[in-house]
Amino acid sequence: MIRFESVTKRYPDGTVAVDGLSLEIPDRSITVLVGPSGCGKTTSLRMVNRMIEPTGGRILLDGQDLQQQPVHTLRRSMGYVIQHAGLFPHRTVADNIATVPRLLGWDRGRARSRAMELMERVGLDTALAKRYPYQLSGGQQQRVGVARALAADPPVLLMDEPFSAVDPIVRKGLQEELLRIQQELGKTIVFVTHDIDEAIRLGDMIAVLRTGGRLAQFAPPDQLLSA
Ligand code: ADP
Ligand code: ADP
Protein backbone atom coordinates (compact mmCIF):
# COMPACT_ATOMS: atom_id res chain seq x y z
CA MET A 1 0.00 0.00 0.00
CA ILE A 2 1.10 3.53 -0.75
CA ARG A 3 0.43 5.95 2.07
CA PHE A 4 0.76 9.73 2.01
CA GLU A 5 1.27 11.19 5.48
CA SER A 6 0.75 14.98 5.63
CA VAL A 7 2.72 15.38 2.42
CA THR A 8 3.60 18.90 1.36
CA LYS A 9 5.49 20.15 -1.66
CA ARG A 10 6.64 23.73 -1.73
CA TYR A 11 8.62 24.61 -4.87
CA PRO A 12 11.70 26.81 -4.52
CA ASP A 13 9.73 29.85 -5.79
CA GLY A 14 7.35 29.46 -2.85
CA THR A 15 4.45 27.83 -4.69
CA VAL A 16 2.74 25.31 -2.45
CA ALA A 17 1.65 22.64 -4.93
CA VAL A 18 0.57 20.02 -2.37
CA ASP A 19 -0.50 20.96 1.14
CA GLY A 20 -0.75 18.39 3.92
CA LEU A 21 -2.02 15.53 1.79
CA SER A 22 -2.87 12.34 3.68
CA LEU A 23 -4.13 9.43 1.65
CA GLU A 24 -4.07 5.64 1.59
CA ILE A 25 -3.86 4.10 -1.84
CA PRO A 26 -5.10 0.53 -1.60
CA ASP A 27 -3.28 -2.29 -3.39
CA ARG A 28 -4.64 -3.88 -6.55
CA SER A 29 -7.16 -1.18 -7.36
CA ILE A 30 -7.40 2.10 -9.22
CA THR A 31 -7.08 5.31 -7.25
CA VAL A 32 -7.78 8.46 -9.25
CA LEU A 33 -6.45 11.90 -8.37
CA VAL A 34 -8.84 14.43 -9.90
CA GLY A 35 -9.17 18.19 -9.76
CA PRO A 36 -8.68 21.38 -11.75
CA SER A 37 -5.48 22.29 -13.53
CA GLY A 38 -2.77 23.33 -11.07
CA CYS A 39 -4.22 21.58 -8.01
CA GLY A 40 -1.14 19.43 -7.51
CA LYS A 41 -2.05 16.16 -9.23
CA THR A 42 1.15 15.72 -11.24
CA THR A 43 3.29 16.83 -8.32
CA SER A 44 1.59 14.25 -6.08
CA LEU A 45 2.04 11.48 -8.63
CA ARG A 46 5.71 12.28 -9.24
CA MET A 47 6.44 12.16 -5.54
CA VAL A 48 5.45 8.49 -5.61
CA ASN A 49 8.37 7.55 -7.87
CA ARG A 50 10.60 10.28 -6.45
CA MET A 51 10.83 12.35 -9.60
CA ILE A 52 9.87 15.06 -7.09
CA GLU A 53 10.76 14.99 -3.39
CA PRO A 54 8.30 16.23 -0.77
CA THR A 55 9.31 19.17 1.40
CA GLY A 56 7.17 17.96 4.29
CA GLY A 57 5.58 14.75 5.51
CA ARG A 58 6.43 11.38 4.03
CA ILE A 59 5.22 8.69 1.68
CA LEU A 60 5.32 5.05 2.71
CA LEU A 61 5.36 2.07 0.38
CA ASP A 62 4.36 -1.12 2.18
CA GLY A 63 5.22 0.61 5.45
CA GLN A 64 8.66 1.77 4.37
CA ASP A 65 9.58 5.41 3.85
CA LEU A 66 10.25 6.04 0.15
CA GLN A 67 13.25 8.13 1.14
CA GLN A 68 14.96 4.97 2.33
CA GLN A 69 14.55 3.15 -0.97
CA PRO A 70 17.06 3.51 -3.78
CA VAL A 71 15.46 5.42 -6.66
CA HIS A 72 16.36 2.80 -9.28
CA THR A 73 14.76 -0.03 -7.28
CA LEU A 74 11.68 2.08 -6.76
CA ARG A 75 11.32 3.05 -10.41
CA ARG A 76 11.57 -0.59 -11.47
CA SER A 77 8.57 -1.38 -9.34
CA MET A 78 6.52 1.43 -10.90
CA GLY A 79 5.52 1.81 -14.53
CA TYR A 80 4.90 5.39 -15.61
CA VAL A 81 2.61 6.55 -18.43
CA ILE A 82 2.18 10.17 -19.52
CA GLN A 83 -0.11 12.10 -21.84
CA HIS A 84 1.78 11.95 -25.11
CA ALA A 85 3.10 8.45 -24.42
CA GLY A 86 6.71 9.73 -24.30
CA LEU A 87 7.84 7.04 -26.71
CA PHE A 88 11.38 6.96 -28.05
CA PRO A 89 10.92 8.26 -31.61
CA HIS A 90 13.84 6.36 -33.14
CA ARG A 91 12.88 2.99 -31.72
CA THR A 92 10.26 0.66 -33.13
CA VAL A 93 7.13 -0.21 -31.18
CA ALA A 94 8.64 -3.55 -30.11
CA ASP A 95 11.89 -1.90 -29.01
CA ASN A 96 10.01 0.79 -27.10
CA ILE A 97 8.07 -1.84 -25.19
CA ALA A 98 11.18 -3.93 -24.58
CA THR A 99 13.22 -1.01 -23.22
CA VAL A 100 13.04 -1.89 -19.53
CA PRO A 101 13.41 -5.66 -19.95
CA ARG A 102 16.55 -5.03 -22.04
CA LEU A 103 17.90 -2.70 -19.34
CA LEU A 104 17.26 -5.48 -16.87
CA GLY A 105 19.45 -7.75 -18.98
CA TRP A 106 16.87 -9.90 -20.71
CA ASP A 107 18.19 -11.33 -23.97
CA ARG A 108 16.78 -9.99 -27.21
CA GLY A 109 14.53 -12.97 -27.92
CA ARG A 110 12.90 -13.00 -24.53
CA ALA A 111 12.39 -9.22 -24.56
CA ARG A 112 10.85 -9.48 -28.00
CA SER A 113 8.38 -12.19 -27.10
CA ARG A 114 7.44 -10.18 -24.00
CA ALA A 115 6.79 -7.18 -26.27
CA MET A 116 4.52 -9.26 -28.52
CA GLU A 117 2.60 -10.65 -25.55
CA LEU A 118 2.06 -7.12 -24.22
CA MET A 119 0.95 -5.77 -27.57
CA GLU A 120 -1.81 -8.35 -27.58
CA ARG A 121 -2.70 -7.56 -24.01
CA VAL A 122 -3.20 -3.85 -24.71
CA GLY A 123 -5.14 -4.50 -27.91
CA LEU A 124 -2.46 -3.71 -30.47
CA ASP A 125 -2.05 -5.71 -33.64
CA THR A 126 1.41 -7.31 -33.47
CA ALA A 127 1.85 -6.40 -37.14
CA LEU A 128 2.60 -2.89 -35.81
CA ALA A 129 5.71 -4.11 -33.95
CA LYS A 130 8.15 -2.81 -36.54
CA ARG A 131 6.57 0.59 -36.95
CA TYR A 132 7.92 3.77 -35.44
CA PRO A 133 5.79 5.88 -33.11
CA TYR A 134 5.06 8.56 -35.74
CA GLN A 135 3.41 5.87 -37.86
CA LEU A 136 0.79 5.21 -35.21
CA SER A 137 -2.41 6.97 -34.29
CA GLY A 138 -2.59 8.78 -30.96
CA GLY A 139 -4.61 5.97 -29.41
CA GLN A 140 -2.13 3.37 -30.61
CA GLN A 141 0.77 5.38 -29.19
CA GLN A 142 -0.93 5.46 -25.80
CA ARG A 143 -1.38 1.69 -25.95
CA VAL A 144 2.34 1.32 -26.63
CA GLY A 145 2.99 3.59 -23.64
CA VAL A 146 0.86 1.34 -21.42
CA ALA A 147 2.54 -1.81 -22.78
CA ARG A 148 5.98 -0.32 -22.14
CA ALA A 149 5.02 0.58 -18.57
CA LEU A 150 3.86 -3.01 -17.99
CA ALA A 151 6.89 -4.64 -19.57
CA ALA A 152 8.82 -5.54 -16.43
CA ASP A 153 5.59 -6.46 -14.63
CA PRO A 154 5.77 -3.74 -11.96
CA PRO A 155 3.18 -3.96 -9.18
CA VAL A 156 2.39 -0.25 -9.48
CA LEU A 157 1.38 1.86 -12.49
CA LEU A 158 1.48 5.65 -12.33
CA MET A 159 -0.58 7.29 -15.06
CA ASP A 160 -0.64 11.04 -15.71
CA GLU A 161 -3.55 12.07 -17.97
CA PRO A 162 -2.68 9.15 -20.26
CA PHE A 163 -5.85 9.38 -22.36
CA SER A 164 -6.51 13.13 -22.38
CA ALA A 165 -5.00 13.81 -25.77
CA VAL A 166 -7.02 11.24 -27.74
CA ASP A 167 -10.51 11.71 -29.11
CA PRO A 168 -13.48 10.67 -26.93
CA ILE A 169 -14.26 7.41 -28.74
CA VAL A 170 -10.67 6.17 -28.66
CA ARG A 171 -10.46 7.31 -25.03
CA LYS A 172 -13.42 5.13 -24.12
CA GLY A 173 -11.72 2.13 -25.71
CA LEU A 174 -8.52 2.84 -23.79
CA GLN A 175 -10.42 3.19 -20.52
CA GLU A 176 -12.10 -0.17 -21.09
CA GLU A 177 -8.74 -1.80 -21.87
CA LEU A 178 -7.30 -0.36 -18.69
CA LEU A 179 -10.14 -1.73 -16.58
CA ARG A 180 -9.68 -5.11 -18.19
CA ILE A 181 -5.91 -5.07 -17.63
CA GLN A 182 -6.44 -4.03 -14.03
CA GLN A 183 -8.83 -6.94 -13.48
CA GLU A 184 -6.54 -9.45 -15.14
CA LEU A 185 -3.24 -8.31 -13.68
CA GLY A 186 -4.29 -6.79 -10.36
CA LYS A 187 -1.97 -3.79 -10.57
CA THR A 188 -2.07 -0.92 -8.12
CA ILE A 189 -2.85 2.05 -10.36
CA VAL A 190 -2.63 5.73 -9.48
CA PHE A 191 -4.34 7.65 -12.25
CA VAL A 192 -4.34 11.44 -12.69
CA THR A 193 -7.06 13.23 -14.65
CA HIS A 194 -8.87 16.58 -14.67
CA ASP A 195 -11.98 14.83 -16.05
CA ILE A 196 -14.46 13.86 -13.34
CA ASP A 197 -16.36 11.52 -15.68
CA GLU A 198 -13.16 9.63 -16.39
CA ALA A 199 -12.42 9.53 -12.65
CA ILE A 200 -15.83 8.04 -11.92
CA ARG A 201 -15.55 5.51 -14.74
CA LEU A 202 -12.14 4.24 -13.68
CA GLY A 203 -11.69 4.86 -9.99
CA ASP A 204 -12.22 2.38 -7.18
CA MET A 205 -11.26 5.31 -4.96
CA ILE A 206 -11.30 8.96 -5.99
CA ALA A 207 -9.22 11.69 -4.39
CA VAL A 208 -10.63 15.10 -5.25
CA LEU A 209 -7.98 17.81 -4.91
CA ARG A 210 -8.68 21.51 -4.92
CA THR A 211 -6.55 24.47 -5.82
CA GLY A 212 -3.72 24.85 -3.35
CA GLY A 213 -3.11 21.11 -3.24
CA ARG A 214 -5.52 20.19 -0.48
CA LEU A 215 -7.65 17.07 -0.36
CA ALA A 216 -11.36 17.87 -0.61
CA GLN A 217 -12.75 14.32 -0.67
CA PHE A 218 -11.53 10.76 -0.75
CA ALA A 219 -14.25 8.23 -1.48
CA PRO A 220 -15.44 5.51 -3.83
CA PRO A 221 -17.33 6.94 -6.83
CA ASP A 222 -20.80 6.13 -5.47
CA GLN A 223 -20.08 8.04 -2.27
CA LEU A 224 -18.69 11.24 -3.80
CA LEU A 225 -20.51 14.38 -2.82
CA SER A 226 -21.08 16.65 -5.78
CA ALA A 227 -18.65 19.53 -5.37
P1 ADP B 1 -1.80 19.64 -11.82
O2 ADP B 1 -1.11 18.38 -12.21
O3 ADP B 1 -2.97 19.41 -10.93
O4 ADP B 1 -2.14 20.51 -12.99
P5 ADP B 1 0.81 20.45 -10.82
O6 ADP B 1 1.20 19.45 -9.81
O7 ADP B 1 1.40 20.36 -12.17
O8 ADP B 1 -0.79 20.48 -10.89
O9 ADP B 1 1.12 21.90 -10.26
C10 ADP B 1 0.65 22.34 -8.99
C11 ADP B 1 1.08 23.77 -8.77
O12 ADP B 1 2.50 23.82 -8.65
C13 ADP B 1 0.70 24.72 -9.86
O14 ADP B 1 0.42 25.98 -9.29
C15 ADP B 1 1.96 24.78 -10.70
O16 ADP B 1 2.03 26.02 -11.39
C17 ADP B 1 3.03 24.68 -9.65
N18 ADP B 1 4.28 24.09 -10.14
C19 ADP B 1 4.43 22.91 -10.78
N20 ADP B 1 5.74 22.69 -11.03
C21 ADP B 1 6.41 23.74 -10.53
C22 ADP B 1 7.80 24.10 -10.46
N23 ADP B 1 8.75 23.30 -10.95
N24 ADP B 1 8.12 25.27 -9.87
C25 ADP B 1 7.17 26.07 -9.34
N26 ADP B 1 5.86 25.79 -9.36
C27 ADP B 1 5.48 24.64 -9.95
P1 ADP C 1 -6.97 7.45 -35.35
O2 ADP C 1 -8.29 7.56 -36.06
O3 ADP C 1 -6.98 6.49 -34.19
O4 ADP C 1 -6.34 8.77 -35.02
P5 ADP C 1 -5.24 7.38 -37.65
O6 ADP C 1 -6.26 7.92 -38.60
O7 ADP C 1 -4.14 8.25 -37.20
O8 ADP C 1 -5.98 6.73 -36.38
O9 ADP C 1 -4.60 6.06 -38.27
C10 ADP C 1 -5.41 5.05 -38.81
C11 ADP C 1 -4.52 3.87 -39.20
O12 ADP C 1 -3.48 4.30 -40.09
C13 ADP C 1 -3.83 3.27 -37.99
O14 ADP C 1 -3.89 1.87 -38.11
C15 ADP C 1 -2.40 3.74 -38.10
O16 ADP C 1 -1.49 2.76 -37.64
C17 ADP C 1 -2.22 3.96 -39.57
N18 ADP C 1 -1.28 5.05 -39.81
C19 ADP C 1 -1.39 6.34 -39.36
N20 ADP C 1 -0.35 7.09 -39.75
C21 ADP C 1 0.47 6.24 -40.45
C22 ADP C 1 1.74 6.40 -41.12
N23 ADP C 1 2.39 7.56 -41.14
N24 ADP C 1 2.27 5.32 -41.72
C25 ADP C 1 1.64 4.15 -41.68
N26 ADP C 1 0.46 3.94 -41.09
C27 ADP C 1 -0.12 4.96 -40.48
Strand, helix or coil for residue 190: strand
| 136 CA distance to ligand 1 middle (Å) | 31
Comparing 12-21, 104-113, 218-227, which segment has the lowest mean pLDDT? 218-227
| 136 CA distance to ligand 2 middle (Å) | 5
Interior angle at CA 23, CA 22 and CA 25, nearest 5: 160
Comparing 39-43, 78-82, 206-210, which segment has the lowest mean pLDDT? 78-82
Assess whether pLDDT exceeds 80 at residue 85.
Answer: no
Measured by CA distance, the residue closest to atom 8 of ligand 2 is 137
Assess whether pLDDT exceeds 70 at residue 172.
Answer: yes
Which residue, among 29, 21, 28, has the nearest Cα to 47 in the 3D structure?
A: 21
The reported pLDDT for the residue numbered 34 is: 97
Which residue, among 47, 87, 95, has the nearest Cα to 71 in the 3D structure?
A: 47
Instruction: Return d(Cα 205, Cα 45) in angstroms, integer.
Output: 15
Which residue, among 22, 19, 39, 23, has the nearest Cα to 31 in the 3D structure?
A: 23
| 110 CA distance to ligand 2 middle (Å) | 28
Assess whether pLDDT exceeds 70 at residue 26.
Answer: yes
pLDDT in tens, 99-136: 989 988 999 999 999 999 999 988 899 999 999 999 99
The reported pLDDT for the residue numbered 227 is: 54
Strand partners, 156: 78, 188
Assess whether pLDDT exceeds 60 at residue 193.
Answer: yes
pTM above 0.80, yes or no: yes
Which residue, among 202, 175, 187, has the nearest Cα to 151 in the 3D structure?
A: 187
Cβ < 6 Å from ligand 2: which residues?
Answer: 135-140, 170
Assess whether pLDDT exceeds 60 at residue 182.
Answer: yes
